[in-house]
Amino acid sequence: MVVIGDLMLDAYMIGETRRISPEAPVPVVEVAERNERPGGAANTALNLAALGARPALVGVLGEDAEGERLLDLLGRAGIDTTFIVRDPTRPTTSKTRIIARGQQIVRIDSEVRAPLAAPQELALMGALRDALAAADGCVLSDYHKGVLTPRLSAEAMALARRSSCPVVVDPKGTDFSRYRGCTVVTPNVHELEAAAGMTAETEELLLAAAARLLQVLEGAAVLITRGAGGMTLVRDQVPPRHISTVAQRVYDVTGAGDTVASTLALGLAAGVPLEQAMELANHAAGVVVGKMGASTVTCDELLAALPALES
């Protein structure tokens, strides 16, 4: 499974707050725990690995300490980092979350969101060609940080078609024409509204917005993730399919989109019909939102969430 997109390092500083700073009216967090995890497209790859796939990452990291730490974390997870390009002109995207009493106090971001420079884009296109040569499936994990340029996205679609492998896109931005040729896109409601240029406040408007995207995507399906509202699958010439959420406890929705995209893509790559792959993704998301931060779902956890399959 090939994952291409914006790689990130997610850092967490967790502690308690018992007093207000004398320097400014802000809480003082006494940090008791620090940890780092792969985020963005790297979390998508982590989800695929947890489900038993062999993910290869295609993306860009800076030549900095954050990039080295992310490579180390990915290597320990068994993820192929051969196709990652290092760029000395931009930092590794990192997000540091400060958490006290189970609540996020503030998030500190370090990033450059400008599109890749031409040399890095060409290097990434070469890496993508090599990675997709033997792929069974592909995920485009777009966090709008400049890696998935229109040219690179188009190349990914063309190469995937040549390899006959399904492509799942976790999208961002308003121009979904960049994803033309994919198998399915997985916007949330906010992303759907932004791309369609209209609100989706009612069921009718939501379906109308999805229909507008179908015209742009030319044959791809649209799987709308709706949080507590479940998921809705919209395709040309097929009645829409809706399923309710199965989440029992929602602790943190960070990274849930990564889990949906990775589970859906792995199901499709294994030959599972789209509607069944959607069900699997829904159950996987129901598990992951019960964990803190960008997390993964194992095969055992997914099977436990599907009691009807245990027999």
The catalytic position among 80, 109, 258, 300 is 258
CA-CA-CA-CA torsion sign (77, 38, 270, 2): negative
- What angle separates helix 203-217 from helix 189-196, to the nearest 10 degrees? 60
Assess whether 6 carries a catalytic annotation.
no
Question: Quick check: helix, strand or coil at residue 163?
Answer: helix
What is the DSSP-derived secondary structure letter of residue 115?
P
Listed in order, strand segments (DSSP E) in the chain are 2-5, 7-20, 27-40, 56-62, 84-87, 93-100, 103-110, 138-141, 167-170, 184-185, 221-225, 231-235, 238-243
Question: E strand or H helix at 288, and its extent?
Answer: helix 274-288
Alpha helix locations (H) across 60-105? Answer: 65-76
Contact 97, 10 (CB under 8 A): yes
SS3 content of the chain, % helix, strand, coil (to 5): 40, 30, 35
* Sign of the alpha-carbon torsion through 184, 149, 294, 18: negative
**Of 154, 158, 187, 157, nearest to 173 (Cα)?**
187
> What six digits make up the tokens of 143?
């966090």
CA distances from 109 to 10, 49, 69, 203, 239 (A): 10, 26, 16, 35, 42
Reduced to 3 states (helix: H, G, I; strand: E, B; else coil), residue 245 is coil
Residues counted in the chain: 311
Active site residue ranges: 258
